[in-house]
Amino acid sequence: MRLSTFVESEHAKPRQQIENICGVLVHVKPDIRHQVNEVLAAKPGVEIHTMTDDGRLVITVEDAEGAWAGSTITSFHDVPGVLSVALVYHHFDSDEEGECQS
């Protein structure tokens, strides 16, 4: 299954979890890191915690109104200047009693 097909099918499902947090490491071209930082920070559910001189960004992404975290992360690849995107942490709590996954 292609990643885009999977993301679309997951996005179409009703969202049952109440908390979805993803930790992402993004590497960008160092000479345009500030411009890329602005583009990524403008996306819903995105918070940039730090950016290094060599173009590494530490980011958290959460589900936002109309924007599933997985779709947001996938969209990082479409931003000019992004070299790599790595999911390094994922946590969600289900709204069903007793279910917690990490």
Residue of 58 and 93 predicted with greater confidence: 58
Handedness of CA 81, 35, 71, 97 (dihedral sign): positive
pLDDT for 65 equals: 86
- Model pLDDT for residues 52-83, shown as the tens digit of each residue: 999 999 999 999 888 889 999 999 999 999 99
Strand boundaries in 16-70, DSSP class E: 17-28, 46-51, 56-62
How would DSSP label each residue in 61-100? Answer: EE-BTTB-HHHHHHHGGGSTTEEEEEEEEEEEEESSTT-E
- Model pLDDT for residues 24-49, shown as the tens digit of each residue: 999 999 999 999 999 999 999 999 99
| pLDDT exceeds 90 at position 10 | no
* Count of beta carbons in the 10 Å neighbourhood of residue 82: 20
Walk me through the domains of the chain, giving residue ranges and CATH numbers.
30-91 (3.30.70)
